[in-house]
Amino acid sequence: MIRLENLTKSYPGQSEPAVRELTLDVPAGEIVVFVGPSGCGKTTTMKLVNRLIEPTSGRIHLDGTDVTEVNPDLLRRKIGYTIQQTGLFPHRTVADNIATVPKMLGWKSRRISERVDELLRLVGLDPALYRDRYPKQLSGGQQQRIGVARALGADPDVMLMDEPFGAIDPLNRESLQNEFLRIQADLRKTIVFVTHDVDEAIKMGDRIAVFRQGGEVVQYDTPERILAEPADEFVREFLGSGTSVKRLSLTPLSAVDVPRWSTVSEGDVDSGEVAAAPGEFRLVLDGDDKPAGWLSACPDGGPGEIVPLISLLGPDDTLFDALDQMLSLNSSAATVVDADGRYRGVLDLDTIRSAINVEPRSAPVETLQEV
């Protein structure tokens, strides 16, 4: 864990401190995102942690040790650091860049070589193709990946990441974010992540510290709670529009109470024991309790036919995915299954609304008739 305690940093010649009396804990294994407008002290605070900048007053504890009492070089070898401009050494190969800290730590060359290949694979680059290239022979996104691999070099418990995906186009940025979250799910590093971008903060952060000018943290909480209850007008404005949609994309269906609508079995449909009334749709489950389709009435009054389901939602999908599916399929409900593909329930607009506690503004939207 990182503990910042009453931290103040005043730069010489500046009338106001860049960071003032900042107290904040970064829990072990979490990503804490510093977000806020330009010049509000995010980078200064981050650089205080690995002593690239010395505090004017206050303390920083790393797993209970006061970092101001640790030799800065030794400290930095224990903390991975990656920045927007990647800071790769242009005249060193990818492998040599990644090996920077392991070499300083005196690792044997075989161990270093294995580690380099392992890290290249981790960040999605084939070692055979990339280890001997130079940074200028890589795309911007690939350089950022090498920056991340280098920061992970000696397997530090703590990572400081200053706008690590800042220089990347939106599409590549999103895939780097996703890959980094996938890596972090396994590695559980303690990470301080700086960004200007509120959407990136919401996506990447287990917690977000919203900074205001002068290094003041206005709100420090989970993305869900910051979106649901912004501390003041500054935070509300900083979050911008669309907070309800942002909350939808933060809510996995595994965390939603999905109403279980009544169903009919495929066997009963096949044997003609159940039928759908005109205008009625009934969800049909196969012998394994998996959705097989909707039973719709036949115009001629027959038992009806099973219309296959175009798409199902799983536990990793979010309320945003559910709404997106409903809009794109022009449907008022979406069928949800568990990790094994078995029926969990059916989501409609009312369920989505109540999951994020949004009151209906007008008459309730017509929903699929419950059977």
Q: Residues interacting with ligand ATP, by CB under 6 A?
A: 11, 14, 18, 36, 38-44, 196
User: Could you tell me if 98 and 120 are in contact, meaning their C-beta atoms sit under 8 angstroms apart?
Assistant: yes
| 41 or 102: CB nearest ligand ATP | 41
**What is the number of residues in the chain?**
371
Compute the least distance from the CB of residue 168 to ligand ATP, in Å.
17
Compute the least distance from the CB of residue 69 to ligand ATP, in Å.
24
Compute the least distance from the CB of residue 45 to ligand ATP, in Å.
7
What tokens were used for 90?
Answer: 């242009």
Pairing of β 2-9 and β 19-26: antiparallel
Compute the least distance from the CB of residue 19 to ligand ATP, in Å.
7
Compute the least distance from the CB of residue 211 to ligand ATP, in Å.
6
| 209 or 333: CB nearest ligand ATP | 209
Compute the least distance from the CB of residue 219 to ligand ATP, in Å.
16
Compute the least distance from the CB of residue 238 to ligand ATP, in Å.
13
What tokens were used for 122?
Answer: 């981790």
How many CB atoms sit inside 10 A of residue 178's CB? 11
DSSP-assigned letter for residue 301: S
| 41 or 345: CB nearest ligand ATP | 41
Pairing of β 65-66 and β 57-62: antiparallel
User: Could you tell me if 98 and 89 are in contact, meaning their C-beta atoms sit under 8 angstroms apart?
Assistant: no
Q: How far apart are CA 324 and CA 329, in angstroms?
A: 8
Pairing of β 333-337 and β 158-162: unpaired
CA dihedral 267, 273, 276, 277 (to 10 degrees): 180
| 11 or 89: CB nearest ligand ATP | 11
User: Could you tell me if 334 and 325 are in contact, meaning their C-beta atoms sit under 8 angstroms apart?
Assistant: yes
Compute the least distance from the CB of residue 281 to ligand ATP, in Å.
52
What would you report as the CA-atom Rg of the chain, rounded to the nearest whole angstrom? 26
| 216 or 268: CB nearest ligand ATP | 216
Single-letter amino acid code for the residue at 127: P
| 15 or 357: CB nearest ligand ATP | 15
Q: Report which of 154, 195, 222, 188 is spatially closest to residue 28, judged by C-alpha positions.
A: 188
DSSP-assigned letter for residue 165: T
CA distances from 60 to 12, 56, 70, 140, 358 (A): 21, 12, 11, 33, 41
The residue behind tokens 């599916």 is 325
| 38 or 241: CB nearest ligand ATP | 38
| 36 or 291: CB nearest ligand ATP | 36
